[in-house]
Structure 1
Amino acid sequence: MKVAILLTSVRVGGAEMQVYRILSMLNREKIEVIVISMRPFDEVGALIESLGIQVYYLNMTKGISYFRGTYRLYRILCEFQPDLLSTFLYHANILGRFVGHMAGVPRIISSIRNIHFGGKRREWLVKTTDGLVDLSIMNSRISAERMVKDKLLKPQKAGVIVNGIDPTGFYKRSGESRQVLREKLGLSIDNFVWISIGRFDPQKNFMGLLENFRLVVENQPRARLLLAGDGPLRQLCESYVLEHGLSKYVEFLGIRKDIADLLSLVDGYVLSSLWEGLPNVLMEAACAELPVVAMDVGGVAELIKEEEYGFLVSNSKQLSASMIRMMAVPLELREEMGRKSRQHVVGNYSLSAIVNQWESLYLEE
């Protein structure tokens, strides 16, 4: 079985890392695979290459590079002659449907990572190109049901394979080792430390989070917030922190590779996203036994059971109240929330089980 995987990019992101994790466990004796990125080389591309998998970069940035990249994709597919084209993320899904069809690929499967496409025109493209794809895979049941309800997908062509995680390496620290890590960031034992991880873009809504956190600090001066990641809106967020006197309370960490360590030293995770699919970062937070305050978007409610694992909010303006509420929950109850959350994720989102589902899908005749 020959499979070509087409991604919009191979930068660090939830979908990109999920593809890498799947490929790291995929049975390569049964499945020969190549990866194609529409955008230039980036960090996840290097990770995939380290698995011994060929990665092609179409270098589609703007203007004529799109035409060159489209033609090159066609040539790669014609030369490799895959039995299946598996695409991830919006731009790759749309391009893959057209070019895969032109190249005569027998089966095309799209993976839709969230239900926010960025406008009616994009929704129309998803709907009108549905005839060019054999199956669309969503990463959450809630998102799949919404897509079918909105008539963007036909029920018979909609499937669900959730994201998977390997909990190894994610754990809850306690005592001296935890305090040593906190002290490196200037955090005391008395601080209640929140963390949020992601790209500084409109989706993650970090500006909205900072506006809420300003209210949290007014009520609970012991609160601290760590923001890990980078992106186009980071400078705007940093300016907001300076202008509102929050520098003592908010730390910008940049892109980090020690996410497990960071999660082990904080007290709670906050997700301020305006839209999501099934956030990998919430799975990681659960494996670190963290209570969560999160926007109830996409498949978040599948991961976080209200009151048991954390608090869900329907409006970003409610984040501050729920964060303050979580800080008032006794430590033993917060720890119980974290334990239950880890049990839920480990029991239902095993990476090995998810990889088996992808393998079975790829190997279907």
Structure 2
Amino acid sequence: MKIVHIIGALRRGGAERFVVDLCNELAKNDQYQIYIISLCDNDADTTFLNEISGKISYLSLHKGKGLNFRVLFKLTSWLVKQKADIVHTHLNAFEYLLLYRFMSGNCKFFHTIHSTAQAECPNFLIKAFRKTLYKKNKVIPVAVSNDGGKSFQKYYGLDNVIVIENGRPFLTLTDEYPVLIKRYKENINSFLLIHVGRIMKVKNQQLLIEAVQKFNANEEKKCKLLIIGDVRDESLYHHLYSMIKDDPYVEFLGGKENIADFLSMADFFCLSSFYEGMPISLIEALSVGCISICTKAGGIKDMIKNEDTGFLSNDNSVDSYYQTIKRAVFYPDKQKIKENSLNSFKQHYHIRTSCKKHVDAYLVI
């Protein structure tokens, strides 16, 4: 069976991370021929390009900004030659499968949204076109969380949405781990908090910084916050940096490949987003038993049970998130939360589980 996944690019982000992981897992089965098609080029130093399995065929179509009809025709020609059995698009790649969709009678088509349906497709005309394809089962809609599935149903008026949760394999420590332990943990009397997320408005890092600063202003034992993630919004980054330039307890570290090292040494993982689909960073935190402190954004509330597999703030106010940090760091049985987090990952969010659900959908529908 030939399975093709199409995505705009492979830069560091949750959807991109998941596509590579899913395809790598699918490629372990010799019955499947797996292809990853990236519409845009990918620099090896800033994307997941080097993490693609050698069993996978990778192709870049060199697209620039905006809709590119040359790329549309090139992709269609390639798909015709390959005679793919499954074509699965992600994010902004949907429109590039359309010509082949009308030319192929046997191929099955899927599209995954990794946020909300409205956020992914705000254009009225494109929405109307997608709705027709979804309603007629010409393209099967896939959501990564119950919250995302509900947004699909409401926005398009659908009853055929499949929910398949994201997944990750177990993470591996690198040689940098002991160096980080020495720098951030040895002889340091503070709670270590890690945030993993691109610097952009939806991630709401301002709330996290303000809540940590409020905690440190009121508590004797402080919180040290490390913010990991590529800068996607330069003006926002400069604003956030102005908030912490004289604060020794908050650091911006930029994008990092060795996320496992940071999460494994952290006392807590923090996510303060306005909205999330099913955040890969949270799955990674669960996989190492790192206690999570989150807002109730999107799919997060499906993943975290308060004081069982993590901690959820009541709302998005600074005081509420501050109180949640306080509740978490002084919780009497943190070991229980760690064990429950790891068990939740094993049962629900390992990439094998997500892969099996995708294969089931490919075969049954």
TM-score by length of structure 2 reads 0.86
Count of aligned pairs: 352
Could you tell me which amino acid in structure 1 is paired with residue 152 of structure 2? M
Whether the aligned pair in 1 keeps the contact of 2:171 and 2:260 (CA below 8 Å) is no
Match of 2:77 in 1: 75
- Name the residue aligned to 1:341: 341
| Partner Cα distance (1:77, 1:120) in 2 | 24
Superposition deviation, residue 256 in structure 1 = 1.4
Residues 271 and 277 (structure 1), Cα distance of their counterparts in 2 relative to 1, 3 Å cut? same
1:174 aligned partner: none
Distance of 1:17 and 1:245 partners within structure 2: 31
Report the counterpart of residue 16 of structure 1 in structure 2.
16
Which residue, 52, 56, 61 being the options, matches 2:55? 52
Separation of aligned partners in 2, 1:363 and 1:51: 25
Asked whether the 8 Å contact 1:206–1:237 carries over to 2, the reply is no
Cα separation, 2, equivalents of 1:347 and 1:160:
16
Equivalent-residue separation in structure 1 for 2:187 and 2:282 (angstroms): 25
Aligned to 1:137: 142
* Structure 1 partner of 2:108: 107
Return the alpha-carbon distance in structure 1 between the equivalents of residues 311 and 4 of structure 2: 40
State the distance in 2 between where 1:362 and 1:11 align: 26
User: What secondary structure does 1:203 align onto?
Assistant: helix
Q: Residues 57-104 of structure 1: CA distance to partner in whole angstroms, max 9, x if unpaired?
A: 1222225x7222222222222222212211112x112433x2332443
* Within-5 A mapping of 1:78-97: 78-89=80-91, 91-96=92-97
Identity %: 24
Secondary structure of the 1:129 match is helix
- 1:1-365 aligned within 5 A: 1-26=1-26, 27-42=28-43, 43-48=47-52, 50-62=53-65, 66-89=68-91, 91-96=92-97, 98-104=98-104, 106-115=107-116, 117-118=118-119, 121-122=122-123, 125-126=126-127, 128-132=129-133, 133-148=138-153, 150-155=154-159, 157-167=160-170, 169=172, 181-185=180-184, 188-220=187-219, 222-233=222-233, 236-237=236-237, 240-317=240-317, 318-330=320-332, 333-364=333-364
How far off is 1:280 after superposition?
1.6
Identify unmatched segments of 5+ residues in structure 2.
none
Moved more, 223-232 or 238-247: 238-247
**Higher mean Cα deviation, 248-257 or 349-358?**
349-358
Question: CA separation of 1:357/1:186 partners in 2, compared to 1, >3 Å: closer, same or farther?
Answer: closer
Task: Give the secondary-structure state (helix, strand or coil) at the position aligned to 1:335.
Answer: helix
1:119 Cα offset (Å): 7.6
Cα contact 1:140–1:160 (8 A) shared by 2? yes
1:86-142: CA deviations, max 9, x gaps? 1112x112433x233244363211111121643873476345413323311111123
Deviations along 1:170-200, one digit per CA (max 9) or x if unpaired, are: 7xxxxxx988633324764311111110111
Conserved in 2, the CA contact under 8 Å of 1:112 and 1:139? yes
Please give the alpha-carbon distance, in whole angstroms, between the structure 1 residues aligned to 2:82 and 2:210.
Answer: 50
Shift of 1:257: 1.9
Counterparts of 1:6 and 1:257, CA distance in 2: 23
Q: Deviations over 1:233-254 (max 9, x none)?
A: 3674355344555430112222
Q: Secondary structure at the match of 1:293?
A: strand
Cα 1:188/1:67, change in 2 over 3 Å? farther
SS at match of 1:211: helix
**1:289–1:335 Cα contact (<8 Å) kept:** no
Q: Which amino acid aligns with 2:69?
A: F
CA distance in 1, matches of 2:264, 2:202: 25
Aligned-residue offset at 1:227: 0.8
Quickly say closer, same or farther: Cα 1:137–1:120, change in 2 above 3 A. closer
Distance across 1 between alignment mates of 2:316 and 2:161:
30
The Cα shift of 1:224 comes to 0.8
Displacement over 6 Å in runs of 4+: 177-180
CA contact (8 A) 2:87 2:110 kept: yes
1:179, 1:265 within 8 Å by CA — same for their partners in 2?
Answer: no
Cα 1:276/1:323, change in 2 over 3 Å: same
